[in-house]
Amino acid sequence: MTVIDVTEQDFQREVLDRSRTLPVVVDFWAAWCGPCRALTPALEQAAGRREGKVVLAKVDTDANPGLSQSFGIQGIPAVKAFRDAAVVDEFVGAQPPAAVERFFDGLVPTEADELVAAGDEASLRRALELDPGRGDAAAALARLEYDAGRPDEALALLENVTGSFAAEGLAARIRLEAAGDVDVAPAFSALDAGDHERAVDLLVAQIPGAEAHTDDLRRAVVAILDELGVDHPVAREGRRRLAAALY
């Protein structure tokens, strides 16, 4: 575990310059501070679990008043995370270990994060073993299953995913294609070809005459709009057209 003591003389090198390569978490503390001593084990354990991916630096505020003043330290323990020589996250006061872990998770990718980023089938399955609730991993793996011609397996992966528009959209697509009584093939062909606007237009056009499939058509459209982002012109117009078709 990389834990270093930092002073005013080497803060630039050890924290700011180093943070351009690795995130650096700085613990502003003092020997007389009881909450500081309570927080230290949680910080060290969290850093130790991310060996080689983060540095924990400790600044004695009594011995380095200039640093305390520079960073506006008014109460300790104060913890600041640096990336690219700037503060990217912080908290004040002793925190429970779970909160400290979440703080570090925001700075350093977890093993599951890295597996999802890899994106291959084996990595995605391992990510779900580590974190069964990861909607992004389930959605990505389901897409691989779907593209491989296994829609039932894909749908099974998506059944328990919540809070993911991509997952809901893919599940809706699978159900719509299986239903056979609503013409969605041209829309999804357009989507696969990268023509989001045509896909949205064709799916929205199906809504008035397909009451049994309204929810799935809506989910499919919302997934496309979410992928585009709120400011995309196709998304803005798509939201308006979808609302008009539904209400």
For the chain, the DSSP string reads --EEE--TTTHIIIIIIGGGTS-EEEEEE-TT-HHHHHHHHHHHHHHHTTTTT-EEEEEETTT-HHHHHHTT--SSSEEEEEETTEEEEEEES---HHHHHHHHHTTS--HHHHHHHH-SHHHHHHHHHH-TT-HHHHHHHHHHHHHTT-HHHHHHHHTT--S-HHHHHHHHHHHHHHH-SS--HHHHHHHHTT-HHHHHHHHHHHGGG-GGGHHHHHHHHHHHHHHH-TT-HHHHHHHHHHHHHH-
- Give the angle 217-221-222 at the CA atoms, nearest 5°: 115
Residue 33 annotated as catalytic: yes
Catalytic residue among 25, 36, 54, 81: 36
Tell me whether residue 111 is one of the annotated catalytic residues: no
User: Catalytic: which of 33, 228, 245, 246?
Assistant: 33
Q: What CA dihedral angle connects 77, 82, 86 and 92, to 10 degrees?
A: -20
The catalytic site residues sit at: 33, 36
